[in-house]
Amino acid sequence: MDHDDFIHFDTEEEEILCRYTTTSKDTRIYHETAETTGMLSWIVQELKKERWLRGTVGLEMWSYRPNRAVSEMFQSALEKEGCRVVDGTDIVRKVRAIKSPQEIAYTEKAAQIAEVGHKAAIETMRPGMTELDVYGEIVNAMAKAGGENPAIPVLVTSGPKCACLHALASRKKIVKGEIVNIDICGVFNRYHANMARTYSIEKPNPDVAKVVELSARAFDVIADLIRPNLPVVEFNERMKAYYQEAGIEQDKWWFGGYELGIAFPPDWVGQFVYDVEIDPKDQLFVPGTVVNYESNFYLPHKTGVSYQINTLIFTEEQARILGKISNDIIVIKR
């Protein structure tokens, strides 16, 4: 609808939360009475009274909340009112993909919070700590800096687990000589900025350090390459060429990225994903785009995977990589 405000429907249990956390100017709370027939039918009737159900209705069918089972119930109820129901996911997500200057500012703050987390790991991590110990230090530091709960938990993996980048922190103890991978999203007003680094407990094997260094140098290439309205295909081709020149392309775990932005659990991965295997057609990194980029490669001697991730933002004037933590392997000496 061409309308200035949205309607927020919610339950009595969340009425106080709505007052604290929503920007809604029109919040409608469902009150169960002997006359009501359930929240779903109440929402449909409220929309009908607003004359919003006179044609095609879009539902975001590819969402976690409500999941498709619930949106199917909405679809059925809306169709009974004579609506034509279509999948409106792309409409919502195309709008969400382009960030305003205020949203960019929130993302920049989130990146600063992610740096705080990595600095906490650098300052406190030592042999004998568990992955959960390190996780706790990171989360505590970011919370003190104003960081919020990320949509995916902070990931801390060590030793053999470093080859599975999505493992959660556990009671496994970190020992001297191991690689430790830490993947963080700083979060501010629910906006996420992703930053991952590879650590070594004491001096790493030279072969391992070399691959991490070559993986890290990818961000020097990116810094020279990115600009507003850069074609995605040009970006992908240049990065593939770099990895081939560096001699590590065949050892890829994954190099590519995806859209970041506002997110709630269970995921911070956005709609737009890009890598050399996906044809982006004529898509551009237009102003307002926020994405991460991952440079992840299997390491020699079965020591794990290099883990370097940064957040890229594109504005009208420039494009840049957020964060100041070195991309090189971070050696912890205790």
Query: Quick one: pLDDT at residue 277?
Result: 96
Q: What is the pLDDT of residue 273?
A: 98
For residue 37, what pLDDT is reported?
A: 85
Find the DSSP H helices in the chain: 15-21, 39-49, 68-80, 89-97, 101-124, 131-144, 206-216, 218-225, 232-246
Q: What is the CATH number of domain 98-332?
A: 3.90.230.10
Nearest by Cα to 169 from 125, 113, 108, 107? 125
> How many helices, marked H, and strands, marked E, lie in the chain?
9, 15
- Domain parsing of the chain, residue ranges: 32-96, 98-332
pLDDT digits (tens, 9 = 90+) for 263-314: 999 999 999 999 999 999 999 999 999 999 999 999 999 999 999 999 999 9
The answer, yes or no, to whether residue 243 has pLDDT greater than 90, is: yes
Q: What angle do CA 227, 233, 238 make, to 5 degrees?
A: 70
The band of 139, judged by pLDDT with boundaries at 50, 70 and 90, is: very high
The pLDDT score that the predictor gives to residue 122 is 98
Total Cβ atoms within 10 A of residue 251: 17
Report the pLDDT value the prediction gives residue 261, as an integer from 0 to 100. 95
pLDDT attached to residue 1: 83
- Given a cut of 90, whether residue 54 has pLDDT beyond it is no
Interval 12-24: pLDDT, tens: 999 999 999 898 9
CA distances from 130 to 161, 176, 195, 296 (A): 13, 12, 21, 24
Average confidence (pLDDT) over 53-81: 94
Q: Is 33 a residue whose pLDDT tops 90?
A: no
Global pTM value: 0.94
Assess whether pLDDT exceeds 90 at residue 4.
no
Angle between helices 218-225 and 232-246 (to 10 degrees): 150
8 Å CB contact between 129 and 173: yes
Average of per-residue pLDDT across 243-247: 98
pLDDT at 2 over 90: no
Give the pLDDT of residue 64: 87
189's tokens: 């007003």
Give the CA diameter of the chain.
74
d(CA 162, CA 165): 6
For 114, 133, 140, 292, the CA distances from 118, given in Å and listed in that order, are 7, 14, 12, 17
